[in-house]
């Protein structure tokens, strides 16, 4: 019985069938799936198993022969070459692709953008890079966890594990838990505590900044001098973060008059003191009910600072594939003492085969 070879042809892929089959056979040979001097299935067998044109298979075998992967032996068939050419290991290639995707994502490019933009010169579109970097996110409230997890997973190819600060100590005691995380992300306010709890875990801890949207700041800049601005959100921490982001803009025409959560008597007092309330979407209904027609309500759910995203991407690239021997110094991204802060899947139709 011959060696098993797992091959798959995707008839809907923009990658030509000839290229799909050639790359898969190269990978099988490089990985030792078919050892040197072992015979490959015949052209007719491969074509029959995969449901493709025998002429296509013949051209693939010829490509492999010319590149040194196989050799034809008269009267015996096609065999893997005694010393196939060496390419960078699959681990190194995967690390390179992951680095590239992370850097591209930091610039707002999707996996499809990268594939089309970079490799269109070769006339093919590569398969999507699979997997995502594991990142730990630590915050003191569920709304902040949801906000930052959504922002991070939108901008970068990462999978975010959300952990409340009060639960971090218990989570880190689980066997081999910390080894999965490429980095931990939290707010500046929680940075010392998270660093302490992750000490010795060899996980770099960083703090990100999310800011008010530029559109919000532009609208605030249009108000007359002396306009009183209040800030409200579902949690006090989120409200303070948004307020600090607005204060950093240094708008001379507005005066910040306070922050509060979007509930209780404090919100009513803030509405009476302000001409404009900036609030999150989740708090908008409650704020509008109290503001009536006398106070203008502006919605701002904040956005991660682009510079911070790029810095986080650079950190992930540096850490990609590495196992540091000592814990790196913490990275502080942004300029505020507060945190403010998919390749599309689709239906595939093709052929799978295990060739023996």
Q: Is 160 in contact with 152 (CB distance < 8 Å)?
A: yes
What is the reported pLDDT for 75? Answer: 83
Tell which wins on pLDDT, 7 or 313.
7
The CATH architecture that domain 5-87 belongs to is: Orthogonal Bundle (1.10)
User: What are the residue ranges spanned by the domains of the chain?
Assistant: 5-87, 91-210+303-356, 213-301
What is the reported pLDDT for 89? Answer: 63
Read off the pLDDT of each residue in 2-12 and give the average, rounded to a whole number.
Answer: 73
The pLDDT of residue 271 is above 50:
yes
What is the reported pLDDT for 212? Answer: 80
What is the SS3 assignment for 259?
A: strand
The pLDDT of residue 192 is above 80:
yes
What is the reported pLDDT for 347? Answer: 34
The string of pLDDT tens digits covering residues 121-172 is 444 433 333 446 788 999 888 878 888 888 787 777 788 899 999 999 998 8
Distance (Å) of CA 254 to CA 180, 219, 229, 257: 46, 11, 7, 9
Q: Is 47 in contact with 57 (CB distance < 8 Å)?
A: yes
If one counts every other C-beta atom within 10 angstroms of the C-beta of residue 249, the result is 15
Q: Which residues contact 173 (CB under 8 A, 6 or more apart)?
A: none
Which conformational region is residue 188 in: left (phi greater than 0), alpha (psi within -120 to 50 degrees), or beta? alpha
Beta strands in 152-263, from DSSP E residues, in sequence order? 158-164, 183-186, 205-207, 210-211, 227-233, 254-261
Global confidence as pTM: 0.49
Rg of the chain over all Cα atoms, to the nearest angstrom: 28
Tell which wins on pLDDT, 89 or 50.
50
Separation CA 210–CA 213 (nearest Å): 9
Read off the pLDDT of each residue in 78-105 and give the average, rounded to a whole number.
Answer: 76
Q: What is the DSSP letter of 42?
A: P
Q: Does domain 91-210+303-356 have CATH number 3.40.630?
A: no
Tell which wins on pLDDT, 85 or 79.
79
Tell which wins on pLDDT, 354 or 29.
29
Which conformational region is residue 36 in: left (phi greater than 0), alpha (psi within -120 to 50 degrees), or beta? beta
- How far, rounded to the nearest angstrom, does the alpha carbon of residue 141 sit from its chain's CA centroid? 22
The pLDDT of residue 252 is above 90:
yes
User: Lowest-confidence range among 29-38, 123-132, 270-279?
Assistant: 123-132
Tell which wins on pLDDT, 340 or 179.
179
DSSP of 297-355: EEE---EE-HHHHHHHHHHHHHHTT---SSPPPPEE-SS-SS-----------EEEEEE
Mean pLDDT of the chain, nearest integer: 77
Percentage above 70 pLDDT, the chain: 75
Highest mean pLDDT of the ranges 65-69, 186-190, 220-224: 220-224
The pLDDT of residue 340 is above 60:
no
The pLDDT of residue 231 is above 60:
yes
What is the reported pLDDT for 320? Answer: 56
Pairing assessment for the beta strands 205-207 and 331-332 based on DSSP bridges:
parallel
User: Lowest-confidence range among 121-125, 153-157, 283-287, 316-320?
Assistant: 121-125
Fold equal for 91-210+303-356 and 213-301: yes
As to burial, measured by CB atoms within 10 angstroms (0-12 exposed, 13-18 middle, 19+ buried), residue 59 is: middle
The CATH architecture that domain 213-301 belongs to is: 3-Layer(aba) Sandwich (3.40)
What is the reported pLDDT for 191? Answer: 84
Q: How many residues does the chain have?
A: 356
Separation CA 200–CA 119 (nearest Å): 41
In which band, very low, low, confident or very high, does the pLDDT at 349 lie, cut at 50, 70 and 90? Answer: very low
Per residue in 134-160, is it b (16+ CB within 10 Å) or e — as a string? ebbbbbbeebbbebbbebbbebbbbeb
């Amino acid at each position: 019985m011959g060696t098993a070879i797992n091959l798959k042809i995707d008839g809907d892929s923009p990658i030509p069938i000839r290229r799909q089959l050639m790359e898969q056979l190269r990978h099988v040979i490089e990985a030792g799936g078919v050892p040197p001097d072992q015979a490959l299935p015949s052209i007719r067998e491969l074509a029959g198993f995969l449901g493709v044109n025998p002429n296509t298979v013949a051209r693939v075998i010829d490509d492999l022969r010319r590149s040194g992967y196989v050799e034809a032996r008269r009267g015996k068939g096609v065999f893997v070459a005694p010393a196939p050419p060496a390419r960078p290991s699959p681990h190194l290639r995967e690390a390179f692709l992951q680095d590239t995707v992370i850097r591209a994502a930091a610039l707002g490019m999707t996996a499809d953008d990268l594939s089309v933009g970079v490799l269109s010169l070769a006339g093919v579109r590569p398969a999507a890079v699979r997997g995502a970097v594991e990142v730990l996110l630590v915050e003191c409230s569920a709304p902040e966890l949801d906000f930052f997890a959504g922002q991070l997973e939108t901008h970068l190819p990462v999978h975010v594990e959300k952990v409340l600060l009060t639960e971090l100590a218990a989570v880190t005691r689980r066997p081999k838990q910390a080894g999965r995380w490429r980095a931990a992300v939290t707010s500046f306010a929680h940075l010392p505590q998270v660093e302490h709890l992750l000490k010795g875990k060899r996980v770099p801890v960083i703090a990100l900044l999310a800011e008010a949207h530029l559109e919000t700041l532009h609208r605030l800049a249009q108000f007359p001098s002396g306009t009183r601005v209040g800030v409200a959100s579902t949690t006090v921490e989120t409200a303070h973060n948004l307020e600090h982001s607005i204060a950093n803009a240094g708008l001379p025409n507005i005066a910040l008059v306070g922050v509060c959560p979007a509930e209780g008597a404090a919100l009513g007092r803030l509405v009476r003191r302000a001409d404009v309330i900036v609030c999150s979407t989740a708090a908008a209904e409650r704020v509008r009910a109290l503001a009536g027609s006398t106070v203008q309500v502006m919605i701002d759910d904040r956005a991660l600072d682009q510079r911070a995203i790029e810095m986080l991407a650079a950190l992930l690239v540096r850490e990609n594939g590495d196992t540091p021997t000592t814990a790196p110094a913490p990275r502080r991204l942004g300029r505020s003492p507060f945190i403010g802060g998919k390749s599309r899947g689709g239906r595939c139709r093709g052929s799978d085969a295990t060739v023996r």
